[in-house]
Amino acid sequence: MIAFLRLAAIGFVGLTLVYWLVSVYSRSLRREALEKRWDEGAGDAGGGDAAGDRDAYIEAGMRAYERGLRRRLIGLVYVVPVVVVVLLIWLNNYS
Amino acid sequence: MKYVKWTLYTLIVLTVFGFLHYVLPQHDIVRITDTDTRRIDFGENSIFWASPDAGTATTPAQVTRDVKFIETIQTNGRPMVYRNEDTGWIWPPYFKFDSYNLQTEASDLRSTSADPRWVVVTHYGWRNEFFTIFPNAVDVRLADGPDERIIPWVNIVILTLLLVAGIMLRRMWLQFRERTLDPVFSNAGDAWEDAGDRAGDARRGARTSWGRFKAWLRSLGG
């Protein structure tokens, strides 16, 4: 039981690190994509003050990202390893 | 400096290869001659043994324990002895709790040289006579024959995933450097290079972090 709790604790810490790294990376990719999209003329139709609009465009895009499916899918970082462990226990001991 | 560098590379590659070779599953085709249990007093070889059976007492300074063994003869006629221990919730992550069941299956598959029944033993670990260490059997099953061809799917999947993880980590690092480090340190880096010392000369023109690391190594050797 202690061995199991230790694995769970170490696993949680490790997966949290992975989750954090993937979140930062994914957010960074999205922000870069938004910047490029603006620079290629995504906001040209509106005209107006370019610098302020660019920041507003990127912030709106990031808010949409925070609510989006892609960010939620990063939660699979916690789910997949647990499924794999259950599968391994099944394969190695009961089949 | 060149020798230091290549020694370092070789050591890293050998360590990684050795680690994976020890931990990843392998398949042997053997004939089981006997199974039994022996008391083992662990010494300097203790890291090459697993932990006590899952759920049993684990006193801190446990140096003696009964260990199950599977004794076999390989297709080339040489002997191979496996230990059969639970890995439980502990390293390596085979989550093996069924060592007693495995021992029963192995006993059931025993055969003689006159009438051999070939068995595939899945195992990890090494046999080494000088340290008295044994590979840990994970699974036994009847083989099609002594020449059965086994494709190591598990290893293919694991090594592919490791490769993907490595590429992913590298891309994460590059993204982090491009978006976070470079904007902060670009001015500081220029000033450093302009100082005109030998290390600065070596660094100049080295664009990637790998190139910078190599330039730094070169500057040490002079």
User: Which residues of chain B register pLDDT less than 70?
Assistant: 58-62, 187-209, 211-212, 219, 221-222
Distance CA B70, CA A25 (A): 48
Same domain, B89 and B127: yes
Please report where in the chains the tokens 């370092």 appear, as a residue: B8
Alpha-carbon span B45 to B65, nearest angstrom: 14
Q: Which two tokens stand for residue A51?
A: 């610098």
Judge if B165 and B138 occupy the same domain. Answer: no
Interface size between A and B, measured as CB pairs under 8 A: 45
Indicate if B135 and B165 belong to the same structural domain. no
- Conformation bin of residue B77: beta by default, left when phi > 0, alpha when psi is -120 to 50: left
**Distance from A46 to chain B by nearest Cα, in Å?**
28
Name every chain A residue with its beta carbon within 8 A of the beta carbon of B93.
85, 88
Is there a domain that residue B16 lies in? Answer: no
Q: Does A25 touch chain B (CB under 8 A)?
A: yes
User: What residue has token string 């899952």?
Assistant: B54
Residues B163, B144 share a domain: no
Residue numbers of the domain that contains B167: 158-221
CB of A16 within 8 Å of a chain B CB? The answer is no
Same domain? For B112 and B139 the reply is yes
- The pTM is what? 0.78
Collect all residues of chain A within an 8 Å Cβ-Cβ radius of residue B175.
Answer: 25, 28-29, 32
User: Same domain, yes or no, for B146 and B164?
Assistant: no
Domain spans of chain A?
2-94
The answer to whether B137 touches B83, Cβ cutoff 8 Å, is yes
**Amino acid B209: pLDDT:** 67
End residue of a domain, out of B150, B176, B203: B150
pLDDT value of residue A73? 94
Q: Do A4 and B93 touch (CB under 8 A)?
A: no
Confidence of residue A74 (pLDDT cuts 50, 70, 90): very high
Helix, strand counts (H, E) of chain B: 6, 5
Please return the burial class of B31, using the count of CB atoms within 10 Å of its CB with bins 0-12, 13-18 and 19+.
buried
What's the CA angle centered on B164, arms A87 and B20, to 5 degrees? 70
Shortest alpha-carbon distance between residue A1 and chain B (Å): 7
The predicted pLDDT at position A11 comes to 95
Contacts of A84 in chain B (CB under 8 A): none
Q: Provide the strand spans (E) within A1-53.
A: none
Q: Is residue B217 part of a domain?
A: yes
Q: Are residues B126 and B163 in the same domain?
A: no
Tell me, what's the pLDDT at B204? 52
Residue B187 falls inside a structural domain:
yes
3-state secondary structure of B130: coil
Q: Is residue B13 part of a domain?
A: no
| Domain identity same for B134 and B179 | no
Find the CB nearest B88 among A3, A24, A29.
A3
pLDDT at A49: 57
Nearest chain A CA: its distance from B161 CA (Å):
13
Distance from CA of A56 to the nearest CA of B (A): 19
Is residue B142 one of the residues assigned to a domain? yes
ipTM over 0.95: no
Q: Over the stretch A9-61, which tens digit does the pLDDT of each residue have?
A: 999 999 999 999 999 999 999 999 999 988 887 666 555 556 678 889 899 99
3-state secondary structure of B61: coil
B→A contacts (Cβ < 8 Å), by residue, are: 51, 54-55, 58, 88-90, 93-98, 101, 138-139, 171-172, 175-176, 179-180
Could you say which of B125, B150, B175 is where a domain stops?
B150
Q: Which of B150, B175, B197 is the last residue of a domain?
A: B150
Predicted local confidence at residue B1, as pLDDT: 81
Q: Is position B19 within any domain?
A: no
For residue A47, the model assigns a pLDDT of: 54
